[in-house]
A = this chain, B = another copy of it.
């Protein structure tokens, strides 16, 4: 089936303490977003990308696509005020039927293997939401109260959140709600179940300077990890 990755890179990088938005920070001499696009483009030659960017970053996005020699395979569209709206804008360009990967632009370490596993599970079950176990104790706070939850029951959610277009597109045909923190929550709100898949500990989201250092090292040592 057709494979489309909707890559969302709308962040303004507040948490980095940098003026450059984090998706354009350099990792081994290339913007993070370059690495992210490359991981998807390399997985299959027939995969297409819809890259969702804020208006002011579209020019920089185009430069990355040219550098990747991928102008034929990547379309750029404008982001919205929320993650939900940005993904919704991206989905307007999806031609059905397809397997749609919705991915964070700053998760630049995603592996070909995880992308392929998400595809396969989505063909079988309709969705694949990468998740990893928690290694630390987790508590839920509620005002001044807090309580521990069983660590074995906790999963940390990653992307690419992957769906059949026939599930994902109708789910996004609704107004934004605060509880829509990712695509899985939107699809669930449409009454459909979503299915987890084993993610990867190295598939981190670059949100702080320390993460960028990790990413450089993971790339440098990818063979041994």
A155 B146 Cβ-Cβ under 8 A: yes
Specify how many copies of this chain sit in the oligomer: 2
Chain A interface category by residue count: 35 or more
Closest CB in chain B relative to A214 CB, distance in Å:
5
A153 and B136 contact, Cβ closer than 8 Å, known pairs A181-B148, A218-B210 = no
Give chain A interface residues in 193-225, CB to chain B under 8 Å: 196, 201-202, 205, 207-210, 213-214, 216-218, 221, 224-225
Most buried by B among A137, A158, A224: A137
6 A-B pairs with least C-beta separation: A137-B157, A213-B217, A139-B155, A214-B214, A136-B156, A137-B182
* Bound form: Cα–Cα A137–B188 in Å: 14
Residues of B within 8 A of A216 (CB): 217
Residues of B within 8 A of A202 (CB): 210
A148 B185 Cβ-Cβ under 8 A: yes
Q: Does A131 contact B (CB under 8 A)?
A: yes
* Bound form: Cα–Cα A134–B135 in Å: 13
B210 A213 Cβ-Cβ under 8 A: no
A151 and B181 contact, Cβ closer than 8 Å, known pairs A156-B134, A156-B136 = yes
Residues of B within 8 A of A158 (CB): 136
Residues of B within 8 A of A196 (CB): 139, 141, 146
Q: Does A66 contact B (CB under 8 A)?
A: no
Residues of B within 8 A of A208 (CB): 201
- The 8 Å CB contact of A154, one of B135, B140, B205, B213, is B140
